[in-house]
Amino acid sequence: MNNEELQQLVSRISLESFHKPFMHRAYFNPRLRTTGGRYLLQSHHIEINPKAFEIYGVREVEGIILHELCHYHLHLEGKGYQHRDKDFRALLKKVNAPRFCSTLQIPKSRSKKQRPHYTYECIQCHQRYVRKIRFNVNRYCCGKCSGQLKIVE
């Protein structure tokens, strides 16, 4: 699916579900990481994460479009368009739009399990400290007994 097909899909869904035209642009934004899509308040455009289409297909993208169109139409009408607003939640229910999209996989380089942890131990009292960032043991001491620290491999 390319941007032109996405634009046509958004226009069709807007007319079928909301009975109102979509007068702005809809396009894929590959820079979106964890969100399925977003509605831009200043320009009124809708951005869709291409990963949502690659991983889950057209059905997921249609749900994301419905969700973003709820923001779009409510904002243009001057009603409550934010997630916490009553108008927004009522419109989501009316058009059967999902409140959240399916989770998009976070790249392994950013996952917390892959991040190295450093363990330091006090030489005197054997208190252990686990840290995400490595530090110079000559500049710091144990917070319990002020003893010297060493890194545990």
Distance CA 124, CA 147 (A): 6
The answer to whether 117 is a known ligand-binding residue is no
Residue 68 is a catalytic residue: yes
Q: What is the DSSP string of 11-50?
A: HHHIIIIISS---S-EEE-TT--S-SEEE-TTT--EEE-H
Structure tokens at 126: 């054997």
The answer to whether 19 is a known ligand-binding residue is no
Distance CA 144, CA 68 (A): 53
Q: Comparing C-alpha atoms, which of 67, 64, 66 is closest to residue 55?
A: 64
> How far out from the chain centre does Cα 81 lie?
18
Catalytic residue among 54, 60, 68, 153: 68
Residues annotated in the binding site for Zn(2+), as ranges? 67, 71
Active site residues: 68
Residues annotated in the binding site, as ranges? 67, 71
